[in-house]
């Protein structure tokens, strides 16, 4: 990886972790040699490390040091690049994505839904309600400086395949641009990857997610 790409990914990851921490109301990220550290403090998710690149020696040292169950790793690398002890459970793949934001009018609300927008400090929440008052689709965007981080975009299964996820994304991005954000970041699941690509987001890096299992006290062993 070139130095330019390393710097780009580190900046993008910094944008994302800062926005994610604000969105989830947890401690602000700390910059550490491996990347970024967040104290989450929740059952099964005590701390997380987010690594903008995969350095095998650095990862090995981190894993030998991180022995508390509920430690999460998010590494900007594909699963086949990563080797971890059996004490770590590997989750479904995720994808770091980015987009340039531009001012644009929010899209028209699809009939028969109604939109609710709430903004508090850095956070804007969008909820699309069905005629019975239930939430058909929702999402959140966090603006900090010139960056906006999309989080928790969900469409109820009963309302899928109607373009509601795209509508929520367009609403959030338009409002973030109006608040001065010029770039966006998010981490997508496999399910959301193609939706975001269709909206102009670019894939910057695959992400491997690993969680230290709660039922192990074994000394980690490595094969790399």
pLDDT digits (tens, 9 = 90+) for 6-45: 999 999 999 999 999 999 999 999 999 999 999 999 999 9
153-203 residue pLDDT tens: 999 999 999 999 999 999 999 999 999 999 999 999 999 999 999 999 999
Q: What does pLDDT average to over the chain?
A: 93
Percentage of the residues of the chain whose pLDDT score is greater than 90 = 90
Cα(188)–Cα(22) distance, rounded to whole angstroms?
A: 18
Burial 22-59 (b: 16+ CB within 10 A, else e): bbbebeebeeeebbbbbebeeeeeebbbbbbbbbeeeb
Three-class DSSP category at 57: helix
What is the rounded distance in angstroms from the CA atom of residue 5 to the CA atom of residue 20? 22
Is the whole-model pTM more than 0.85? yes
Among 3-12, 127-136, 199-208, the least confident range: 3-12
């Amino acid at each position: 990886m070139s130095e330019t790409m390393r710097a780009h990914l580190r900046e993008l990851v910094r944008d994302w972790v800062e926005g994610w921490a604000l969105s989830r109301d947890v401690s602000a990220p700390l910059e550490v040699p491996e990347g970024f550290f967040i104290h989450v403090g929740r059952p099964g998710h005590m701390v997380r490390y987010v690594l903008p690149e995969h350095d095998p020696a650095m990862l090995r040292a981190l894993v030998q040091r991180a022995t508390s169950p509920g430690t999460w790793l998010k590494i900007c690398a594909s699963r086949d690049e990563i080797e971890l002890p059996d004490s770590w459970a590997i989750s479904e793949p995720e994808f770091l994505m980015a987009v340039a934001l531009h001012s644009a009018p929010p899209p028209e609300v699809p009939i028969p839904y109604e939109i609710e927008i709430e903004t508090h400090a850095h956070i804007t929440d969008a909820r699309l309600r069905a005629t019975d008052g239930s939430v058909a689709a929702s999402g959140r965007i966090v603006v900090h400086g010139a960056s906006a981080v999309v989080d928790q975009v969900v469409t109820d299964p009963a309302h899928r395949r109607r373009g509601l996820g795209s509508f929520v994304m367009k609403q959030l991005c338009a409002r973030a641009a109006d608040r001065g954000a010029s770039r966006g970041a998010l981490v997508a699941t496999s399910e959301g990857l193609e939706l975001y690509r269709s909206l102009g987001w670019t894939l910057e890096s695959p992400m491997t997610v690993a969680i230290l299992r709660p039922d192990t006290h074994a000394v980690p062993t490595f094969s790399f």
